[in-house]
Structures are given as C-alpha cells and as structure tokens.
A = this chain, B = another copy of it.
Amino acid sequence: MLFSPQIILSGYLFKWIFLCLIIGTMAGTASAGFLLSLNWVTDWREQHFWLILFLPVIGLLIGLLYHYYGQDVTKGNNQLLEEFHNPKNIIPFKMAPMIWLSTILTHLVGGSAGREGTAVQMGGSLADQLTHLFKFKPRDRKVILIAGIAAGFASVFGTPLAGTIFGLEVLLVGQLSYAAILPALLSAVIADQTCKAWNVGHTHYHIDLIPGLSAPAILWCVLAGIFFGITAMLFSKLMHKIAAFFKAKVAYAPLRPFYGGIILLMVIGFMHWLVPAYSTRYLGLGIPVILESFKQQQAFIDFATKVLFTAFTVGVGFKGGEVTPLFFIGATLGSALSLIIPLPIGLLAGMGFVSVFSGAANTPLACIVMGIELFGAESSVYIAIACIVAFLFSGNSGIYSAQPIGTEKHILLKRYYRK
C-alpha cells in the first residue's frame, strides 16, 4: 500500500513523542536544578578561598560514596556507552543523585571539573528508569540511552542540536547512525526548553570579528586545528595515565581522590604564595577566563596549567566530566595562538572552545553545530575546519575509553589502536 510506511511510522512517532516528553522533562529539570546548585556553590567558593582546604576530605567523601554505595555506577559516561554497545543491566537510578552530589562537592572545593558528565549521566539514568515501567526490548533501550544523553547534553549547555548530534556521534568514533535521530532530537529540544522554562539560562559567548575567508586564512585554520587536536590528545592521554598511576599505587579506591586532593591543595597553596592573583584561576569551571579569552590575548601558560589541573582532578576521581575545562583549554589556547596566527582573538578562542572538545570526545559534527549554536552561523567554516582537523589530529585517543572505533580516521592509524 502506498502509505504503509507512514502508517507504521505514525505509531513510532506517537510512542516517541510521548517518551521524549518524559525524558526531556526529567533531564531538563535535573539540568536546571543542577545548574542552579552549581552556580550557587561556584559563587560561594569564589568568595571563600579557604574552601579549598577541604579538597582532600571531599575527595575522600566522594571516594567512599562511590566505593561503598556506587560500585555499579562508578564508570559514569563510559558506563552509558558500554550499556549501549552491550545492553545488560538497567542503569541504576542512584547514578543521577550521586553524580549530582559529587559534582557539586567537587566544585564546592574548587575541583577543576566539568558538568557535561553530570548532565549526561543524569539524563541517561533517568531515561533508563522508563525501562522498568515499559519493559523495553534492547533495541528500544539503545534509543532510550541516546535520547537521555542527548537531553542531558542539550539542556546543560543550551544547545539542542549539538546535544542531538552528540548523542548519536559519541557512540562510535568516525561513524554516525541515524537510527535514533528523531528521539534524540525531540528529547534534546524538550530538555532544553524545560531547562529554560525553569528560568535557568546559559552563558553567552560572542565572536566580535569574523574576517572573510581566504587561502591563507584556511591554512591558518588548519594549523590551529592541529594544535587543538594535539592538545586534546595530550589531555586524554595524561588523564588516563594519571588515573592508571593512582589505580596502580593506591589500592584502596577512596584514598585516591584523598591523596589527589592533598596534592592539589599543596599546588594551589604554592600558587597562592607565588602569584596570589592566579590562585583561583584554574579552579572550577573557569567561565570568567573563558569569556576573557574572547576579548584579550591569554598566555600559553593558561591552557597548559588547565590541562594539568583538569587531567589530575578528574584522573584521581573527582566528578563532573571534562567538557567545560576543555572549553577553557581550547579558548585560552586559541586566544594565545593569536600571538602567532593572524586571525582575530575572538575567532581563535571560539575555534579552540569547540575544537579541543571535538578532538577529545571524537565528536566533530556535534562540536561544529555547537559552535554555530553558541557563536552564530557566520563563523561556521572556520569552526568546521578547526573541529575536523582537531578530530583527526587527536589520533586514536579520547576521553571516553568505552567508545569503539567505527571508521578509522586514517588507515595507518590502525596500528596505534587504543588499548
């Protein structure tokens, strides 16, 4: 019959509009509450520098929490990816409150961590609770997980299309399947709208000056992309190495963030003594520095220090994810590169903002779309070149160890396949 496909799809459409309404509302509400509490603790920490004294204790607390109560949710984002590729157990509900609480605690004491991990884990675990209710088959559960990831990402950054594509793109390196494209989009849009309906806004970034394209500009863009990609690779490798080192040296898991917290505390204390003005620069999300990067040239030390701080903080076991620090790293690096690359500071900062993340998460299309959603369509070609070159030049490393390779970035990279 001529309209058979449409009749079949109508049922599919109604089912997923209904489910995405639930997923989007839950994830958007969770993100709104999380962002509010995150703003609150960040403000508080910025006013009370002594809170960093609690880094070791809070580290221990988070460690104990996950060791005794969260063994089954401790893998975080990787757990969602593993569950997608090999569906076994429903993601426990407790993943959501635990990651919320531990992220807030991390930021309360100035840990250099992000927020996308939190939003994605809240979205994914809340969405998967519907599996209890509706007894989904594995095929539908995969869609549910993608929709939850997309909803969390979209609402925490206020970028619905980037969230949609992130949910589809993060599953495999170098390949994108459209099987869940509509549920991902609907839950991302609904989650973003829900978060905004709770009156929780997002930071606005602005690129002042976008020069016309030219052959040299394209080549400079490629060069910048290479820097961003290498930085993404170094970040991912360093973070995994630090995590592996602490795992090897400290057998009792809760002590890893405790010792990590002591080291962080000493470093921050030393910096406070050496250059007081910089003592809080690399703590927390670092939004003020990101905004500054678009306006004035940053020093190369900024991106390098933030790489060390974040790789260490997340590597030893503090929570929240890596993405906002990656924005910081990319924006400050881009801004600093204006010293040698003749492109406007704001444009380079914007390119770095999304490109380092593109290389680290292996999600170039989501990052291009995020650039368009955050900075407007005018800079899209610059953003696209930088994101795609960074994606290629980050090699076979990435922040998500459970992300399999779908299509090789380059056939010769196979021999450097991630372990």
Contacts and interface: CB of A to CB of B under 8 A. Distances in A.
A384 interface: yes
A178 interface: yes
A288 interface: no
B226 A6 contact: yes
A139 interface: yes
A243 interface: no
A380 B226 CA distance: 29
Nearest to A21: B215
A96 interface: no
A368 interface: yes
A204 interface: no
Contacts of A395: 4-6, 9
A8 B413 contact: yes
A222 B178 contact: no
Interface in A166-214: 174-179, 181-182, 185-186, 189-190, 193, 213-214
A393 B178 contact: no
Interface residues on A, range: 35 or more
A260 interface: no
Interface stretch (A28-36, A104-112, A124-132, A403-411): A403-411
Given A174-B179, A175-B178, A388-B185, A222 B409 contact: no
Contacts of A174: 177-179
A139 B393 CA distance: 20
A26 to B, nearest CB: 16
A161 B381 CA distance: 7
A17 interface: yes
B189 A388 contact: no
Contacts of A164: 384
A147 interface: no
A182 B381 contact: no
A123 B257 CA distance: 56
Contact of A411 (B139, B181, B185, B380): B139
B182 A389 contact: yes
Contact of A175 (B176, B393, B416): B176
A13 interface: yes
Shortest beta-carbon contacts, A-B, top 7? A5-B395, A174-B178, A176-B176, A377-B377, A177-B407, A8-B412, A179-B407
